[in-house]
Structure 1
Amino acid sequence: MSDDDIEDLQVTYPGAGTFKFGDSAKLSAKLIKRVRAGQKHATSGALRDFADDPDAMPKVGRCDIAANWDGTPALVIRTKSVEQVRFCDVTEELAHAEGETLEGWQRGHKAYFERNGGFDAEMMLLFEKFEVVEDLASRPAMQTEDKT
């Protein structure tokens, strides 16, 4: 992907931030695949992770670019809602919005938080529901070799 492609995305989606799902190439690819399949339309993160960069927090109505693990743009999403919820208060409905059962969500996210700054059942999360605005795999210049 060229600098022109990145610039084009910034013109098309002004103010868009860029982020990656997960904390490894394998997890990132799995989560992007779930989004593309329509199984995942939400994401969550530790509220503490936004303390040093509050502008990175999702904002209702803003578009953001979800990148593949290698940094190439994969999807453009628009935030539909943002709420703060404690880990222990995440419901089956919220877990399902992330494409998981509640038990699977709790197990996977507990392990994720333990790897990334620590886990506490009372920890505050930022829970974002989103819609896909554009799947960038349809832009030939942005296709990668990742066929996951």
Structure 2
Amino acid sequence: MKTNGIMALIESKYPKAGHWVLGDSPSMHDELAELIAKGIKTATTCSFHSYESDEDKIAVGKHYIVSDSKEHPVCIARVRAMHLMQFSEMTEELAGKEGEGDRSLLHWQLEHQRFFERVGDFSPDMEIVVIEFKVVENIAENIPA
């Protein structure tokens, strides 16, 4: 079955699911999708400005089809919790749930500052939304090569 056939099945099973391709480069899309599918990454962060301007509002309980850089579905994640805070208020616990690097708060601060600077949206007192989620279905392993 081709990916578009898989996508049709996924969308019929999760008709209100949103779509996530996380990061700002193809390599980051692939890395983050893999971390999510493996259950290592169970949280992600966006700026409150980005959250507010997105037409597809993230909400607790909503499902998301997580895709890689080629827009192939990798897994289905369900949002479990959301936290609104300033960048400077991020906790060690939530930073660890991001699953990247050594999972420390310092690593999170450095990498997310770089990310938000690249997208033109950084300030230490900027508001961020931390989104916790859980993988409810792995898809990548079901797609034949």
TM-score by length of 1: 0.87
Equivalent in the alignment of 2:84 = 84
| 2:23 is the alignment partner of 1:22 | yes
Tell me the secondary structure at the aligned position of residue 16 of structure 2.
coil
Q: How does 1:30-109 map to 2 (within 5 A)?
A: 30-54=31-55, 56-99=56-99, 100-109=103-112
Q: Call closer, same or farther: CA 1:34–1:53 in 2, change over 3 Å.
A: closer
1:66-116: CA deviations, max 9, x gaps?
110111111110000011111000010110111121000000000000011
By how many angstroms is 1:27 displaced?
1.4
Structure 2 spans left out of the alignment, 5+ residues: none
- CA RMSD in angstroms, aligned pairs only: 1.5
Gaps of 5+ in 1: 144-148
Aligned to 1:127: 130
Identity of aligned residues (%): 29
Task: Provide the C-alpha distance between the structure 1 equivalents of 2:89 and 2:96, rounded to a whole number of angstroms.
Answer: 14
User: Measured at CA, do residues 59 and 91 of structure 1 come closer, stay the same or move farther in structure 2, by a change above 3 Å?
Assistant: same
- Poorly superposed stretches of 4+, deviation over 6 Å: none
Mapped contact 2:21–2:33 kept (Cα < 8 A) = no
Determine the C-alpha separation between the residues in 1 that align with 2:46 and 2:30.
Answer: 18
Q: Given that residues 44 and 132 in structure 2 are in contact (C-alpha distance below 8 angstroms), is that contact kept between their aligned partners in structure 1?
A: yes
Structure 1 CA distance for aligned equivalents of residues 143 and 67 of structure 2: 16
The aligned length equals 141
